[in-house]
């Protein structure tokens, strides 16, 4: 049992991220009260069955009332609506944060609605799985992962430190970044990979010369690695695409330019260009493993080694 960090925490949205936060708070005893709110009565009922909080309501405004910490975990496109709903219930000194994958857009949507005396600190825990909904969450999701804050210029240092302490209690490592830079970094490390994964799975699904059952049957030869990302929550990813448009379009343009170069090298049999790229990328993988950001077992550990 850790110490109580906040008297009352309100969780607005109880999907994969919200419900993982809830499980950690409950397990670690980080708050006296955990009020859970979601628009869907069905999801709210499920959250209650899972015993994720101490109180449940479909009203975000009711949840936020008297909360010391409000964590908004909804698709980024719903940020403004939530900000409008909770604004008048927020008490002075409350910390409001979010977990959205885009930051400039969330700030533009939420900051104007935040009352004087409330600490709005945009955040983004870089954690998740391809599953969604309250059943998909689990305690420990944030362990060893980064949580990036993109504080506004007038952010209160004490509030930031308190919020950082909360994420650290969940096992996260915390970092700070300018919102625009966050959005560029995430465009390449997260948004582009998801879009590319969705796209290649779509391409394969549409082929006439190769049947869908063949694609599935032989997917272990590379294709299946992409399907994990392409199984992520559609609404969340629609919103990410629409709310980080500029950075994503920039990264897509570079990706396509590079792919055209690679395609031309294949067409003209320029093996040296292929070797150069294929060797360079191998080193990136090594660095990621060395940095502890991926497991060093072949094939993601899917094979049981049997030496």
- Per CB under 8 A, which of residues 195..214 are in contact with a second copy? 195-207, 209-210, 212, 214
- In the list 53, 123, 128, 134, the residue contacting a second copy (rule: CB under 8 A) is 128
By CB under 8 A, which span of 7-15, 36-44, 78-86, 244-252 interacts with a second copy? 244-252
Rule CB under 8 A: say whether 294 interacts with a second copy: yes
By C-beta, is 113 or 184 nearer to a second copy? Answer: 184
Contacts of residue 190, Cβ cutoff 8 Å, sequence gap at least 6: 101, 126
- Kindly tell me which of 61 and 136 has the beta carbon lying closer to a second copy: 136
For strand 173-176 and strand 146-149, is the pairing parallel, antiparallel, or unpaired?
A: parallel
Give the residue with the Cβ less far from a second copy, 115 or 171: 171
Answer yes or no: are the C-beta atoms of 23 and 52 closer than 8 Å.
yes
**Which is closer to a second copy, CB of 67 or CB of 122?**
122
Nearer to a second copy, 87 or 231 (CB): 231
> Cβ-count burial of 269 within 10 angstroms (0-12 exposed, 13-18 middle, 19+ buried)?
exposed
- Candidate segments 36-44, 112-120, 157-165, 242-250, binder of a second copy by CB under 8 A: 242-250
The only residue of 26, 39, 145, 162 in contact with a second copy, by rule CB under 8 A: 145
Neighbours of 227 (CB within 10 A): 17
Q: Does 189 bind a second copy (CB under 8 A)?
A: yes
Binding mask 82-101 for a second copy (x = CB under 8 A): -------------------x
Select from 7-15, 112-120, 143-151, 158-166 the region that touches a second copy (CB under 8 A): 143-151
- Which residues have CB under 8 Å from 30's CB, separation 6+? 2, 3, 4, 5, 6, 9, 24, 166, 169
203: burial class by Cβ within 10 Å (0-12, 13-18, 19+)? exposed
Return the residue matching tokens 């994503």. 248
């Amino acid at each position: 049992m850790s110490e109580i960090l906040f008297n009352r925490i309100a969780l607005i949205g109880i999907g994969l991220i919200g419900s993982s936060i809830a499980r950690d708070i409950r397990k670690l005893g980080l708050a006296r009260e955990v009020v859970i709110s979601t628009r869907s009565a069905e999801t709210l009922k499920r959250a209650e069955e899972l015993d994720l909080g101490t109180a449940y309501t479909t009203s975000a405004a009711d949840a936020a009332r008297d909360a010391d910490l409000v964590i908004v975990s909804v698709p980024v496109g719903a940020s403004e609506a939530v900000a409008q709903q909770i604004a008048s219930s927020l008490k002075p000194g409350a910390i409001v944060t979010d977990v959205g994958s885009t930051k400039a857009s969330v700030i533009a949507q939420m900051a104007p609605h935040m009352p004087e005396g409330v600490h709005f600190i945009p955040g983004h825990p870089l954690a998740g799985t391809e599953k969604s909904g309250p059943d998909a969450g689990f305690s420990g999701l944030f362990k060893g992962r980064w949580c990036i804050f993109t504080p506004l210029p007038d952010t209160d240092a004490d509030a930031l430190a308190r919020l950082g302490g909360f994420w650290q209690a969940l096992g996260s490592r915390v970092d700070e970044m300018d919102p625009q830079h966050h959005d560029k970094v995430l465009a390449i490390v997260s948004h582009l990979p998801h879009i590319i994964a969705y796209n290649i799975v779509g391409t394969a699904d549409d082929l006439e010369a190769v049947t869908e059952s063949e694609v599935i049957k032989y997917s272990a030869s590379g294709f299946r690695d992409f399907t994990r990302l392409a199984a992520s929550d559609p609404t969340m990813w629609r919103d990410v695409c629409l709310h980080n448009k500029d950075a994503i379009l920039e990264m897509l343009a570079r990706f396509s330019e590079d792919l055209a170069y690679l395609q031309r090298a294949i067409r003209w049999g320029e093996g040296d260009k292929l070797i150069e790229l294929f060797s360079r990328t191998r080193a990136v993988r090594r660095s990621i493993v060395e940095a502890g950001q991926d497991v060093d077992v072949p094939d993601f550990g899917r094979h049981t080694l049997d030496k």
